[in-house]
Structure 1
Amino acid sequence: MTDRKDELAANLAKVEERIAAACAAAGRRREEVTLIVVTKTYPASDVRILAELGVRHVAENRDQDAAPKAAECADLPLTWHFVGQLQTNKVRSVVGYADLVQSVDRSRLVTALSKEAVRAGREIGCLIQVALDAGESGRGERGGVAPGGIEELADRVAAAEGLRLAGLMTVAPLTGEYAGRERAAFERLMDLSTHLRGSHPAANMVSAGMSADLERAVAAGATHVRVGSAVLGVRARLG
């Protein structure tokens, strides 16, 4: 355990240096960017170590992994983010532990989240997942709504009981005009965020960037970066 704590502490320090340097290069204050550690495939024991090391935001992308882990770590001062594609039959479980759902991309999901948030007596922060590889209509390969669908979906979230419209999220596209152009993709997301804040001023969260491209996300203006492997290492999923 001590070895693992040392390993995570060293990795966190390196990521912190990268974020700080990216903020300095962009003329931003370090506190403008929140680190979310993506703990998928890693055990609750790692989450506990991360909490000891000062991490306050963690993310998961599969409910079957996240629900028991969150329950085991319920005593920790953590904000839990759900970042994976979310099926409506998993919504009740996810609402039980997630403080924010970053992958809201369709009306049916908004309805389900609202119903379960009200049932649980909770307020769930929602980010609209934007698919920059979807053109102006349709959905992206990894989920998300096309840019042209943001406004309508955002209005639905804002009007839904038990939900709070927090902002936008994207994953750098692997195909289409932004493939291999992460900085341009993240700048496009910032433009969309600026437009959204015209009608929803409090929706100021912009979640973009992962281990490989966090610097480009910070340069573009992201408020939150989602980092997994750079903190926890690379591990093959079992099963």
Structure 2
Amino acid sequence: MTDRKAQIARNLTQVEERITAACVAAGRKREEVTLIVVTKTYPASDVRILSELGVRHVAENRDQDAAPKAAECSGLPLTWHFVGQLQTNKVRSVVGYAGIVQSVDRARLVTALSKEAVRTGREVGCLIQIALDADESGRGARGGVGPDGIEELGELVAKAPGLRLDGLMTVAPLTGPYAGREQAAFERLMDLSTDLRRTHPAANMVSAGMSSDLEQAVAAGATHVRVGTAVLGVRPGLG
């Protein structure tokens, strides 16, 4: 086993232990939580190692980095998630590899995704990104739509050809009433998910929690956690 593979395997084991412990503490089954490894800034060789180690879900946030990597790893049994703010001019490329777009936050993006999904004959899963720090404009500092916009956007996705409404996603806000209160933020997301599932029962995916706060996300009820640094190490060039 190469040094890099051994390092990733060790880190992956530690993250698995954290998720398992969090599930036990929350009275949940381990299989209720899916690990998505965020591979942004890391090479395709790391993605191949992750696949060899049994990881089935990876995420990227910049199309210019993700597209060549996904092409290089196209033969692997992976679902690619796009988690970054998505400009409509990148939709054609992203739909080419992403099975799920977790950052759907505006009607124009829904229209562009639907058009491209239909053109390519693909079905794209969509999560509505929720901004719990939304300002008066209904937008958050890291993208996303405020809670008041969920119902309308959810209906748009659900009715759009080629798209599938899978659920909700959030990033723990750095400002506003939930700053520093990750558990409360994720519990609010779960409440919003419950509301959404009243009209869209199949939209039961809740993506929340990262390396630093995955335990709080699992405790709140998240179905998917997005972990990068804890699995792959400190990103190159980030200290």
Classify the TM-score, shorter chain. Answer: over 0.9
Does structure 2 retain, via aligned residues, the 8 Å contact 1:136–1:148? no
> 1:72 aligned to 2:72?
yes
Output the CA distance in 2 between the equivalents of 1:146 and 1:156.
16
Output the CA distance in 2 between the equivalents of 1:199 and 1:41.
38
- Specify the code of the residue in structure 2 equivalent to 1:54: G
TM-score in terms of structure 1 length: 0.98
Question: Which residue does 1:9 correspond to in 2?
Answer: 9
> 1:156 aligned to 2:156?
yes
- Specify the code of the residue in structure 2 equivalent to 1:121: G
Question: Which residue does 1:223 correspond to in 2?
Answer: 223
Does structure 2 retain, via aligned residues, the 8 Å contact 1:131–1:144? yes
Runs (4+) of structure 1 exceeding 6 A deviation are none
Could you list the runs of 5+ residues in structure 2 that have no partner in the other structure? Answer: none
Question: Which residue does 1:192 correspond to in 2?
Answer: 192
The offset of 1:122, in angstroms, is: 0.1
Comparing 170-179 with 130-139, greater Cα deviation is found at 130-139
Does structure 2 retain, via aligned residues, the 8 Å contact 1:110–1:157? yes
User: Aligned residues: percent identity?
Assistant: 84
Tell me the C-alpha RMSD between the 2 structures.
1.0
Say how many residue pairs are matched: 238
The offset of 1:235, in angstroms, is: 1.8
Output the CA distance in 1 between the equivalents of 2:74 and 2:149.
35
TM-score in terms of structure 2 length: 0.98
Output the CA distance in 2 between the equivalents of 1:48 and 1:191.
37
Cα-to-partner distance string for 1:48-93 (whole Å, 9 max, x where unaligned): 0000000000000000000000000000000000000000000000
Does structure 2 retain, via aligned residues, the 8 Å contact 1:136–1:149? no
Secondary structure of the residue aligned to 2:98 is coil
Does structure 2 retain, via aligned residues, the 8 Å contact 1:51–1:78? yes
Output the CA distance in 1 between the equivalents of 2:217 and 2:147.
18
Output the CA distance in 2 between the equivalents of 1:24 and 1:69.
35
Question: Which residue does 2:183 correspond to in 1?
Answer: 183
Output the CA distance in 1 between the equivalents of 2:93 and 2:14.
34
The offset of 1:135, in angstroms, is: 5.0
Output the CA distance in 1 between the equivalents of 2:110 and 2:235.
33
The offset of 1:236, in angstroms, is: 3.3
Question: Which residue does 2:204 correspond to in 1?
Answer: 204
Output the CA distance in 1 between the equivalents of 2:146 and 2:173.
12
